[in-house]
Amino acid sequence: MATKASRTAARAMISPSVILLLGWMLIPLGLTIYFSLLRYNLLMPGARPFVGWENYEFFITNPAFTTALINTLLLVGGVLLITVIGGVLLALLLNLEMWGQGIVRILVIAPFFVMPTVSALVWKNMFMNPVNGLFGYLAKGLGLEPFDFLSQAPLASIIGIVSWQWLPFATLILLTAIQSLDSEQLEAAEMDGAGPFSRFFYITLPHLARAITVVVLIQTIFLLSIFAEIFVTTNGGPGNASTNLTFLIYKESLLSFDVGAGSAGGVIAIILANIVAIFLMRMIGKNLDA
């Protein structure tokens, strides 16, 4: 039904966003790649000679890089494990018949709306602080020694904080998916003598597979870029114990002002994120045809 005139109009309507996004993508990306090939430090003015792969070599052979890479994987993997399992259980719970379901739902999704700096600081001070935190009081009440979470188990503590923030997201999406499950199918299975566990593993879980994949992929994109939670709690420490790739690049870039190495790290981060992105894009693309 689209006429030639309407096609031209449509193109004119789409072009502003295409041009903006193209510029937003190509200019910084091009500069990052360009900088990554130069010896360029803001603290050392002067020539910026072309050095080829030197920055990549420097960044990758830095022992902090291996630590940061492992921490990134642990952080992403840990949070995914907790939020997906917790999310499935919570979604099953919230799907049951109860009084005040709407209110419970509101309570459960609330952490998602709390800004990262607030949730990290609240957990750090009000809960994990060994002297005045609630966990400290709880330990003392039970006659135990208070545990200094952020200095003794920094990465695990951050995994906990981030999981609290992302659990609502997983729950909400999985709940939406569970609600689209045909209850007659479950009833039929029950009449055929399937117990609650086999009903869950053979009907509910396969039905949720797609939603779980979406949760995993979208969360991974965001979790690879975790920054604020580390920035306000441990600042990457002690040592590099809680430094992830994002935070390492930030330190290299804006604390050491090493533009070359920071950019090389940036390119590595982009490649890693793209590996995940390809899978996510395929999932969403498939849905577009449906």
Partner 1 sequence: MARAVTTQRKAINTLIAWIVGLLIFFPILWIFILSFHSEGDAIKSPLEVITSTWTFESYATVQERSNYFRHFWNSVVISVGSTVLGLIIAVPSAWAMAFVPGKRTKDVLMWMLSTKMLPPVGVLLPIYLICQNLGLLDTRIALVFILMMINLPIIIWMLYTYFREIPGEILEAARMDGASLREEVIYVLLPMAVPGIASTLLLNIILAWNEAFWTLTLTAAKAAPLTAFIASYSSPEGLFYAKLSAASIMAIAPILIMGWFSQKQLVRGLTFGAVK
Q: Which region among 24-32, 61-69, 151-159, 198-206 touches partner 1 (by CB under 8 A)?
A: 24-32
By CB under 8 A, the residues from 25 to 44 that bind partner 1 are 25, 27-29, 31-32, 35
Instruction: For residues 273 and 72, give the distance between their C-alpha atoms in angstroms, rounded to a whole number.
Output: 12
Within 148-167, which residues bind partner 1 (CB under 8 A)?
A: 164, 167
* 106 touches partner 1 (CB under 8 A): yes
- Cβ proximity to partner 1: between 70 and 107 the closer is 107
Piece of the chain touching partner 1 by CB under 8 A; list 50-58, 112-120, 143-151, 196-204: 112-120
Min dist. Cβ of residue 239 to partner 1 (A): 19
81 binds partner 1 (CB under 8 A): no
Please classify residue 115 by burial: count the beta carbons closer than 10 Å to its beta carbon, then call 0-12 exposed, 13-18 middle and 19+ buried: exposed
Minimum gap (Å) between residue 52 Cβ and partner 1: 18
Helix (H, G, I), strand (E, B) or coil at 114: coil
Query: Binding partner 1 by CB under 8 A: which of 46, 184, 191, 206?
Result: 184
- Residue 97, judged by CB atoms within 10 A of its CB (0-12, 13-18, 19+), counts as exposed
Minimal distance, residue 201 CB to partner 1, in Å = 21
Chain positions 200 to 239 lying near partner 1, rule: CB under 8 A, are 210-211, 214, 218, 221, 224-225, 227-228, 231-233
Structure tokens at 270: 């982009």
Provide, rounded to whole angstroms, the least separation between the CB of residue 197 and partner 1. Answer: 18
Structure tokens at 17: 């966003």
Contact between 197 and partner 1 (CB under 8 A)?
no
Instruction: Give min distance, CB of 95 to partner 1, in A.
Output: 9
Alpha helices in 97-242, H assignment, sequence order: 101-109, 116-122, 134-141, 149-152, 154-179, 183-191, 196-199, 205-223, 228-233
Beta-carbon count within 10 A of 244 CB:
30
Q: How many other C-beta atoms are found inside a 10 Å radius of the C-beta of residue 3?
A: 8
